[in-house]
Amino acid sequence: MAKPERRELILETVIKLLSARGLEGVTHRAVDESAGLPQGSSSYYYPKKAGMLVAASEHLAALLERTAMTCRSALRMWQRRTAWMQPSNM
């Protein structure tokens, strides 16, 4: 697995663990086990838990931004397709 893919897997696993177990449930060992990675993998990329949590929050923010952009695009497309149904303002 390439480094960027492993980092993404670690960050997504942190997000899932936070959701399921809360802050106390996020440990390097728990991340490695849940992600199916060798022990020490998450520590290699994120030596401190705080750094791993910050990176996971930034990753989540980027995911949410992409989702929001997709929703805005879909809404604009829907508005263009249904514009003929709107009463005119004459």
Q: What is the pLDDT of residues 49-87, one digit of tens each?
A: 999 999 999 999 999 998 888 888 888 888 888 888 777
Q: What is the pLDDT of residues 16-53, one digit of tens each?
A: 999 999 999 999 999 999 999 999 999 999 999 999 99
Q: Report residue 39: phi and psi, to 5°.
A: -55, 135
DSSP the chain: --HHHHHHHHHHHHHHHHHHH-GGG--HHHHHHHHTPPTTHHHHH-SSHHHHHHHHHHHHHHHHHHHHHHHHHHHHHHHHHHGGGSPP--
What are the chain's domains?
3-79 (1.10.357.10)
Q: What is the pLDDT of residue 81?
A: 87
Residue 89 has pLDDT above 70, yes or no: no
- pTM (predicted TM-score): 0.76
